Amino acid sequence: MEFYVTAGPGTESALRDELSELGFRSARLNRGGIPFFGEWEDGWRACLETRLGQRVMVVMGRFPARDVQQLYDGARELPWLDVITPQHTFAVAAYAHESCGENPNFVALKVKDAIVDSMRDQLGQRSSVSKDDPDLRVFVYWAREKATVYLDLSGEPLFKRGYRQAGGEAPIKETLAAAVLRMSGWDRKTPLVDPMCGSGTLVIEAALWAANVAPGLWRQRFGFERWANFSEDDARRLAELRGQLRGQGHGQPPRITGFDLDDAVLATAQDNARAAGLRLSFRKMPLRELQPDGTRRLLVANPPYGVRLDADNQLYQELCAAVQRLHGWRVALIVGNPRAIAGIRLRPEAEYPLTNGSIECRLVIYEVP
């Protein structure tokens, strides 16, 4: 079976590395996501173990589609009764390359028609569409006279880990936080500091990764558990897999600390950490008090930027000054406007374009001499 794990823009290489380390076969670099091959349980495991992946999908079928009629005919022939019954709900989303000459919404509508017509022909009944909470999510990719139909195993997007009690004013998604940590070069042993921790996402994701705790263990249910072919035996095997992954977590991570100036968000961060089963240190401290102490650390931060929050020049001045004095530290900053950190008089070791929500930004990494 062929699976496809979707990636946030700019994180594809990091996701490929993660999936390879997790033992998934034939994970290869691809724009927008990473395909791999395996059995059903490999798809379940990907949902539970990937930190960076946004969704895990399985290929249901591929077929030639020179026009909308061929697209409809090909989709209608797929074995829909394997995964849904008239009692199930579903939703269809689509991508149509400009060469197809069709609107993605119209493409999704035609595939929806193919599904319900196929069911009606075989059973005399059809499933209903539910855009908000469907039992089955279908995605169609149509480009260069070929269509691929995917089924989404995830259900809710995988950044929804299940431990977040609340967020701050502009929280970073958990999947992007995990990507930033991996791309920063962190070895999971070096002490880590987030001096603008907000609701604690970067700090919590760091601690979970360091302790080898699978990020999907807090999810109550994945999309594939609602499909018609998910049996009681499958549920038993999934429970066993969850148990195995729980047993792989180990010990306390290195010292990981979050600072902020807002008492309310620090309380939220502590609540989120407890919900994730972690004991972490969160303290109120201004940037100007952050000083080197002879221990090498990684500073990672997602300061306010772009349209998410009003720019605060003083905050960036303090951040730049802090970085300059952290001799021997490694620093990874997510910035919307590189000019905001022009006060850091160091050449970046690396820069990566990313997208945080709808905002284009960059991950900028420094080694402070």
pLDDT at 365 over 60: yes
4 contacts 33 by C-beta, under 8 angstroms: yes
Between 122 and 357, whose confidence is greater?
A: 122
Q: Write out the DSSP string of 112-169.
A: HHHHHHHHHHHHS--PEE-SSS-SEEEEEEEETTEEEEEEESSSS-TT--S--S---S
215 contacts 164 by C-beta, under 8 angstroms: no
Q: What is the pLDDT of residue 313?
A: 79
pLDDT at 353 over 90: yes
Report how far residue 143's alpha carbon sits from residue 41's, in angstroms, rounded to the nearest whole number.
29
φ, ψ dihedrals at 189, nearest 5°: -120, -30
174-211+253-367: same fold as 2-152?
Answer: no
**Which token pair is 148?**
């691929």
Helix pair angle (263-275, 201-210), 10° resolution: 30
15 contacts 53 by C-beta, under 8 angstroms: yes
Residues whose CB is less than 8 angstroms from the CB of residue 243 and which lie 6 or more positions away in sequence, other chains included: none
**Which token pair is 217?**
């263990």
Cα-only R_g, the chain: 23
Q: Which long-range contacts (CB under 8 A, 24 or more apart) does 76-80 make?
A: 76/114, 76/115, 76/117, 76/118, 77/118, 78/118, 78/149, 80/115, 80/118, 80/119
- How sure is the predictor about 47, in pLDDT bands with cuts at 50, 70 and 90? very high
Give domain limits for the chain.
2-152, 174-211+253-367
The predicted-structure confidence for 89-116, as pLDDT tens digits, reads as follows 999 999 999 888 889 999 999 999 999 9
Report how far residue 6's alpha carbon sits from residue 54's, in angstroms, rounded to the nearest whole number.
5
In one-letter notation, the amino acid at residue 178 is A
Report how far residue 129's alpha carbon sits from residue 131's, in angstroms, rounded to the nearest whole number.
6
CATH class of the domain defined by 2-152: alpha beta
Q: Stretch 301-319: mean pLDDT, rounded?
A: 72
Q: Is 185 in a helix, a strand, or coil?
A: coil
pTM: 0.94
Report how far residue 164's alpha carbon sits from residue 167's, in angstroms, rounded to the nearest whole number.
7
The predicted-structure confidence for 160-179, as pLDDT tens digits, reads as follows 998 988 766 667 999 999 99
> Can you identify the CATH homologous superfamily of domain 174-211+253-367?
Vaccinia Virus protein VP39 (3.40.50.150)
